[in-house]
Amino acid sequence: MTGASTVPVGRPDVDGTDEQEVIPTSSGAWPTADPIGSQLPWWRQLRSLRKVASTRAAVFLSYRNTMLLLLGVSVVRIFMLKKVWQALYAARPGALAIPLGDLLVYLTLANLIAWSFPTHTVTRYLRDRIREGSVVFDVVRPVGFLPQMVAQLVGSLQGSMLIIGLSLPLVAFAGSLALPAGAQAAGLFPLSLVLAYAIAGLLALLLAMVAFWTVEVNGMVMLYVLVSSFLSGALVPVRVFPAGLRAVLDWLPFPATTYVPAGIYVGSIRGHAAWQGIGVQALWVLVLAGLAALVWRRAIHRLVVQGG
């Protein structure tokens, strides 16, 4: 085959050993036939995607001891934030233009939102699939690759929400919980939370797809979690950031993942500002979805897998 090259793909042989399967490509790229073109119509993919999500939820819960440990770390952080801000308000009443009770509810809810979204699920899953070479089977399935990744995230999110639901008494003791600030907050919070999860999922998916170029993404994931936990407002409400930093954050999606839904819940974002925040969230969903589709189109032509 003139000018052709091959991509080694690791797959388990019948006797349990690994065997190199060679897939011919044109000019070192993925086969010119687009796997996306052979997918089922979206409505016929839903049943399979629901199965992927339920399987991932079961896997998530099978490692519940680990997840409970990680939740415990988040609960400790909530407790420490509560004590720090209580001490600060005791020393300087009205240190922030936010009542202490609302601030504690905000911080508790913001950290639960930040913890509940399983960023590591899709990044670790895709990294391992690329390392093993088994990602090729995900790519050629009649169910879209990106929808498969979304279903993985949805399944893990279901598992994390169940764990949070069971641990709410402990969370309420460590931090502070209260009902939504009003009827508008109760009505808009679920919508804002869904959009926040969509944004966080798309960011995680974009981060995971870097593995098509680098294979290893652990360092970037750790940096992303550290930066996003601050810029999203999980530690300090975005509204109290310096004006210059707030101006920068207006062009970044991080506040839309945590600050907006938590702010709507406690009533610090209300009225027109609440609708504006939801509009910004919806815009970020569209922008990030388009970017994810573009990156995927590039990634499929640079697929590198390690087999054996």
- CA–CA separation, 190 and 188 (whole Å): 6
One digit per residue, the tens of pLDDT, for the chain of length 308 reads 444 433 444 434 434 344 433 333 333 444 433 444 456 776 778 888 899 888 888 887 777 677 777 788 888 989 999 999 999 898 888 778 788 999 999 999 999 998 888 787 788 888 888 888 788 888 888 888 888 888 988 998 888 888 888 888 889 999 999 999 999 999 999 999 999 999 999 999 999 998 888 878 888 888 998 899 899 999 889 988 988 999 999 899 999 999 999 999 999 999 999 999 999 999 999 999 999 999 998 887 766 444 44
- CA–CA separation, 211 and 277 (whole Å): 32
The pLDDT value recorded for residue 37 is 46
Give phi and psi for 230, each to the nearest 5: -85, -50
- CA–CA separation, 15 and 182 (whole Å): 63
**Contact assessment for residue 20 and residue 14, using Cβ atoms and an 8 Å cutoff:** no
Domain residue spans of the chain: 40-299
Q: Among candidates 212, 64, 222, which has minimal Cα distance to 145?
A: 212
3-state secondary structure of 25: strand
Please give the helix or strand (H or E) that residue 192 lies within, else none: helix 183-209
What b-and-e string marks burial along 161-180, b requiring 16 or more CB atoms within 10 Å of the CB? Answer: eebbeebeeebeebbbeeeb
The pLDDT value recorded for residue 199 is 95
* Single pTM value for the model: 0.81
